[in-house]
Each structure stands twice: as structure tokens, then as C-alpha cells.
Amino acid sequence: MSVRPFLITGCARTRGSPGGGAPTSSSSGTWCARASASSSSRVGLRPPDSSRDSVLTEMPVVSESSARVAPRRWRIERSRGPTASRAGSWSIVLLLLRQKDLSNRRGRSDGQHMNENYDVVVVGGGAAGLSGAVALARSRRSVLVVDAGDSRNAPAGHVHNFLSRDGTPPSELYAAGRAEVTGYGGRVETARVAALARDGERFGVQISAQTGERTVAARRLLVATGLRDVLPDVPGLAARWGIDVLHCPYCHGWEVRGQRIGILSTGPAAVHQALLFAQLSPHVTLLQHTGPALDADQHKQLGALGVAIAEGEVERIEAGTDGLTGVVLAGRGRLALDAVVVAPRMEARAELLEPLGLKPAEVLIGEHPVGTRIEADRTGATAVPGVWVAGNLADPQAQVVGAAAAGLMAGAAINFDLILDEARSRG
Ligand SMILES: Cc1cc2nc3c(=O)[nH]c(=O)nc-3n(C[C@H](O)[C@H](O)[C@H](O)COP(=O)(O)OP(=O)(O)OC[C@H]3O[C@@H](n4cnc5c(N)ncnc54)[C@H](O)[C@@H]3O)c2cc1C
């Protein structure tokens, strides 16, 4: 079996969708044009009999509650019943009642009043969420970013491969992003979104903060909650994650160049990683651990690039005050190392989306499952109208700069979707 490019160079696809899983726009032109075309065809230019329009037209014309609040003059008119001469004013009354009923419904979520209404609530304030929020705030949209503050790369000391920001600590990058959002009038809150629910034409967003719980309303959602790295269960491994237990040659490879690097094999990605790290150091060892047996081609490729192979399971990772010192191989003793590379399972942080009808799809490299993602088109629009996703939640392979780009694209698409909505409702 020959080795195909892995991770950043990317050959991942979603199970059941050979072309990459998500529908892509075939229109040409600038990215803005593509974003808007895709957006309008999905949501903005829906035919009049779409389910969303029927929410408006199928509302009870005179509901019990609206009849109770109708002014006395209207009640008198109704008791007389419409006559030919009164038909015009009668229909205006019905329209007013219907609008009142609609606005009442918009303000409620599960019996709770929602006093805060936003054009967009962004769930997750990493590179993707903050970038989307900047685009929206600069478009004069009311936007709230709710962020729990545990971004994926938080354990790492610095961000690399982000042009012009190389070496910036993640916390500094996100603090700068938050300041940009608030500088354009957006709001950023450190809190956790506990639940999302559709509420008629809007969404109810339940926020759990130190100050208590509340529910706010949003016309659109941008969900950028990232992914969870699930590490192999080896004692000592998790404690060194992001420091000298690494996963990505482009994030940290330069920092361990020339050092003794062990590749912990738990699946087919290990050979890809070994070949990539061999570009950075002549001292790379593939630790067979629980990984699949190597075929003849793989042996040849690894041998050609000088990668050693160590048989046996890794019992534990050892570290001292200066960092990782090596691994203990079952029955074979200790191997001195400066860094260990793993391939965690990358699970979409998508629990919030399930009640809205969005379930994560499996991501495959070759035939092997490596994680999950929420499927979306290239603007981040999901199968659920009004809900966009960006960053690692939609694309586990996205780096910081890629996540930021996806957030911008989603922000632009949401803004245009809202514009179409407004043009339709005012037209
Ligand atoms: C150890 C490590 C080091 C890395 N180093 C680099 C590097 O040097 N360069 C690089 O380009 N990439 C690097 N990456 C990859 C990088 O972390 C991702 O590309 C990037 O974080 C993706 O951004 P995101 O916005 O999609 O997700 P995240 O950055 O993970 O942001 C998601 C945010 O959503 C929030 N959130 C989740 N659930 C909720 C909720 N219910 N309510 C509110 N908020 C919520 C989280 O708190 C988090 O702040 C690294 C990854 C790891 C694991």
C-alpha cells in the first residue's frame, strides 16, 4: 500500500459522500458571489410554499390569546360580523391581530421571555467564530459571541503557520480577535451555550454564565465549537499534550527539528506522520504500539527515509522537569525520546446541534474513520435553514488560518441571507 498525503495536504472525506461530503457551489466568480448565490438558492429565494413561509401563512388568524387582547372597538366590530362595507377594516384588524400573535411568539422560548434579540449568535469564539463575528459586526449586524474559552490549541504555547502572527500565544490571538469584534459593536461573552432550539422564525440560545442562566434570541446561528481531540489511553500522554506530545508537523514540526521523535502508531495515520516528521529530523522511530502491521511498501518507504521501527506496546510516557524523556516499551525497556507524535480521534463538538436535526458524519482517511464533522457547503450553510458552521466543527483538518477564513465566509453568507430576508419582508 503506497502512502497518500495526510492531514494538511488532505485526503479526508466524509463517509457516504465520495466527493468530500458537502455540496459545493458550481458557480464561478468571486468568493462573495459564490457565497451569495449559494445562500440565496438555499434559504433566501425559497419558493413561497416552503416550510418556512408556511409558518407565517398557517398561523391561526385569530388565536384565543390574540382575541383576549383585542381592543374593545375591534370586539364590537367582530360581534357585528363583517359586512360588505366593513370588509376592508375587518381584514386590517385580522392582519394586526396576526402580527401581534407573531411578535408574541417571536419573543418566547419554552415559556421564557427573551429580552435580548440578535441578528446572529455565534457559538464558539476561536478563530472561526471570531472571524465570522468580525465580518457580521462590520456589516452592522447585531452579533453576540458566546465562548467557553477552551479553544483546541489552548495547551500549545504558540500559534504557527498563521501569516504575520507566527509565534503568537493562542490566548493573545483570541484576545485580539475579541477586541476586534467589540470594536465594531459586537458583544463577546465568556460563557457556555447549554442548548439551542428553534423558536418559530428564530432560535433560542440558552446561555449558562457565572451570573446565571438566560435565553437570548437569534435570527441566524453560526456554530464554531471546534472539535475534541481524543487521545490514545497511554499513561503520561495526556499530561504532555500540546507541549511535547504533538500531532501536526506544520504546527510544531519546526520546533522539534533534529530531535528524537517517536510516532505512536494506533492506526494508518502513523505512517503518514512518520514520513512527514522524517522531513524534519533524521531521528524518527515508528512505535508499533497497537497500530496495524506494516506492508512491504510501507517498510520500503520508511526505510528509504531512515525511519526506525520499534516493536511492542508503549506502557507509558516518561517526563522530567525539562520535558518528555522517553517511552517504556512493554518487555523491551526504555527508549529515549524528546517528543512523541500521536493521531488523536477528532470528534466534532456537535452535541448542541442534535436537537436542531444535525448529526455529525464520520470522516474517513482512505477507509479508516478518523473523526467526525458537521456537513456543510463551502459557505458553511448546513442542511438546517438558518444554521451555519465553520472551523474544525465542519473541517477537522482546518488550521487556525483556515478556520478564520471559513468563519469569514460563513459571516458573509449569513449577512447576505439576512439581506435577502429583509428585502423579501419589506418588498
Ligand atoms: C495542541 C494543538 C496545537 C495547535 N497548533 C496550531 C498551530 O500552531 N497553528 C495552526 O494553524 N493550528 C494549530 N492547531 C489547530 C488549531 O487548534 C485549530 O485549527 C483551530 O483551533 C480551529 O479553530 P476553531 O475556531 O474551529 O475551533 P477552536 O479554536 O477550538 O474554538 C472553538 C471555541 O468554541 C468554544 N465552545 C465549544 N463549545 C462551546 C459551547 N457549548 N458554548 C460556548 N463556547 C463553546 C470553545 O471554548 C472554543 O473557544 C493546533 C491544534 C492543537 C490540538
The CATH number of residue 192's host domain is 3.50.50.60
121 HSE (CA, 13 A, CB side): 26
Same domain for 364 and 331:
no
CA atoms of 118 and 220, how far apart (whole Å)? 8
DSSP 391: G
In this structure, what DSSP letter does residue 56 have? H
Q: Whose CA is nearest to atom 21 of ligand 1?
A: 152
How many contiguous H segments (helices) and E segments (strands) does the chain have?
11, 22
Residues 28, 170 within the same domain: yes
Q: Are 358 and 315 found together in one domain?
A: no
Q: Are residues 202 and 324 in the same domain?
A: no
Nearest CA to ligand 1 atom 35: 124
C-beta of 399 in contact with ligand 1 (< 6 A): yes
> What gap in Å lies between CA 93 and CA 91, rounded to an integer?
5
* Domain contains 2: no
| Whether residues 92 and 157 fall in one domain | no
State the distance from the centre of ligand 1 to the C-alpha of 398, rounded, in angstroms. Answer: 10
DSSP state of 82: -
298 and 391 inside one domain:
no
Of 341, 326, 285, 292, the residue nearest 308 (C-alpha) = 285
Domain boundary among 106, 129, 149: 106
Q: Are residue 211 and residue 326 in the same domain, yes or no?
A: no
What DSSP assignment string belongs to 278-306?
Answer: HTT-S-EEEE-TTSPPP-HHHHHHHHHTT
- Quote the pLDDT of residue 321: 94
In angstroms, the CA 200 to CA 413 distance is 21
Cell numbers describing residue 414: 449569513
Strands laid side by side in the 368-373 sheet: 12-14, 361-365, 368-373, 345-348, 227-230
What angle is formed at CA 129 by the lines to CA 123 and CA 130, rounded to 5 degrees? 125
**Domain match, 237 and 310 both:** yes
Model pLDDT, residue 370: 94
* Structural domain contains residue 1: no
> Do 28 and 96 fall within a single domain?
no
How many domains does the chain divide into?
3
Buried b (16+ CB within 10 A) or exposed e, 161-181: bbeebeebebeebbeebbebb
Residues 64 and 204 in one domain: no
Burial of 351 (0-12, 13-18, 19+ CB in 10 A): exposed
Cα-to-centroid distance, 227 and ligand 1 (Å): 7
Separation of alpha carbons 8 and 203, rounded Å:
35
Spatial distance between the Cα atoms of 104 and 213, rounded to a whole number of angstroms: 22
**Does any domain span residue 179?**
yes
CA 263 / ligand 1 centre spacing (Å): 23
| Residue 130, H or E segment | helix 127-138
243 CA distance to ligand 1 middle (Å):
16
- What global pTM score does this model have? 0.78
Cell triple for 377? 457547503
Which 3-state string (H, E, C) describes 303-366?
HHCCCEEECCCEEEEEEECCEEEEEEECCCEEEECCEEECCCEEEECCHHHHHHCCCCEEEEEC
Q: Is residue 163 part of a domain?
A: yes
Q: How far apart are CA 162 and CA 399, in angstroms?
A: 9
Which of residues 63, 84, 106 is at a domain's end?
A: 106
Looking at residue 114, what is its pLDDT? 62
**213 alpha carbon to ligand 1 midpoint, in Å?**
25
Query: Residue 67: which domain range?
Result: 53-106
178 lies in a domain?
yes
Q: Are residues 334 and 356 in the same domain?
A: no
Residues 339 and 354 in one domain: no
Residue 193 is given by DSSP the state E
Output the tens digit of pLDDT for each of the chain's 427 residues: 333 333 332 334 454 333 333 333 333 322 333 333 333 333 332 332 333 332 222 222 222 233 333 333 333 233 333 333 334 443 433 333 344 333 333 333 343 446 799 999 999 999 999 999 999 999 999 999 999 999 999 999 999 999 999 999 999 999 999 999 999 999 999 999 999 999 899 999 999 999 999 999 999 999 999 999 999 999 999 999 999 999 999 999 999 999 999 999 999 899 999 999 999 999 999 999 999 999 999 999 999 999 999 999 999 999 999 999 999 999 999 999 999 999 999 999 999 999 999 999 999 988 889 999 999 999 999 999 999 999 999 999 999 999 999 999 999 999 999 999 999 999 8
Cell numbers 360580523 label which residue? 81
Q: How far apart are CA 373 and CA 22, in angstroms?
A: 11
Rg (CA), the chain: 27
Residue 385: inside a domain, yes or no?
yes
Under a CB-based contact definition with an 8 Å cutoff, are residues 273 and 263 in contact?
A: yes
Determine contact, residues 375/383, Cβ cutoff 8 Å: yes
Closest by Cα among 149, 147, 173 to 160: 173
Query: Is 4 among the domain residues?
Result: no
Q: Which atom of ligand 1 is nearest to the CA of 398?
A: 19
Q: Count CB atoms within 10 A of the CB of residue 222.
A: 30
Q: Residue whose CA is closest, atom 20 of ligand 1? A: 400
CB 41 within 8 A of CB 33: no
pLDDT at residue 58, rounded to an integer:
28
Q: Is the distance from CB of 378 to CB of 409 less than 8 angstroms?
A: yes
- Of the three residues 322, 343, 364, the one that is the final residue of a domain is 343
Answer whether residue 3 is part of any domain.
no
Q: 251 CB less than 6 Å from ligand 1?
A: yes
